[in-house]
Amino acid sequence: MRRNPERSARAADLRFELRGERLPLDHGQALAEAVCAQLPWLADEHGAGIHAVRGAAIGGGLLGISRRARLVLRLPQTRLDDALALAGRSLQLGADTLHVGPGKPWPITPSDTVYARLVIAGPAEEQPFARALGALLGACGAACEVVLGKPRALATREGVRRGFSVLLHGMTPELSLRLQEAGLGELRLHGCGIVVPYKSIAAV
């Protein structure tokens, strides 16, 4: 991993404690709406994203929430204090209620390999998607190795959107920070295109 980037990251993650019993496995749309209802400015904040909540499938299309679960927002540094207002609020996702606890900033760090669990970038077929992704990376000057992983889908109010998990290798520190700040593709408030340091090949 390469460190000592030329500049500090202009974005960070804000991690909130989360209490509740369950939420839908495919919860991107519902979570985005619930969070934006509490933070109305978030919908118009360029580069902002909401990570998918991690948990274990419990059947019936549901995700169980453990005490270690976190609600994580990817935000510009200038918005971290504003978003802390979410602490102490309740989020309603259909019949399920999530209670948001204290929030803590978590810095973005450079890594020569980064990963996004679902990137939506136009076509859902692999080869057209790869070309569309290549165009996105080319526009930001990203010369790196690209590995497409699992095809994934996201339910939205406009219909099901499809894409792939994406791993990028050979990042410079500057490019790694830039991609983590800006994200890739569409629907970042729904959990898509949020770029994080790569940890495990099993994720792809």
Burial class (CB in 10 A: 0-12, 13-18, 19+), 31: buried
Is the confidence at residue 144, as pLDDT, over 70?
yes
Q: Tell me the pLDDT tens digit for each residue of 91-127.
A: 999 888 999 999 999 999 999 999 999 999 988 899 9
Q: Is the pLDDT of residue 160 over 70?
A: yes
- For the record, the structure tokens of 93 come out as 């996702």
Which range has the worst mean pLDDT, 19-28, 112-121, 191-200?
191-200
Q: For residues 108 and 106, what is the distance between their CA atoms, to the nearest angstrom?
A: 7
Q: For the domain bounded by 113-203, which CATH number is listed?
A: 3.30.70
- Every domain range in the chain assigned CATH 3.30.70.1890: 11-107
Mean pLDDT, the chain, whole residue set:
90
Fold classification of 11-107 is Alpha-Beta Plaits (3.30.70)
Percent of the chain's residues with pLDDT above 90: 75
- Is residue 8 predicted with pLDDT exceeding 90? no
Q: What is the mean pLDDT of residues 188-197?
A: 96
With 60 as the cut, is the pLDDT of residue 4 above it? no
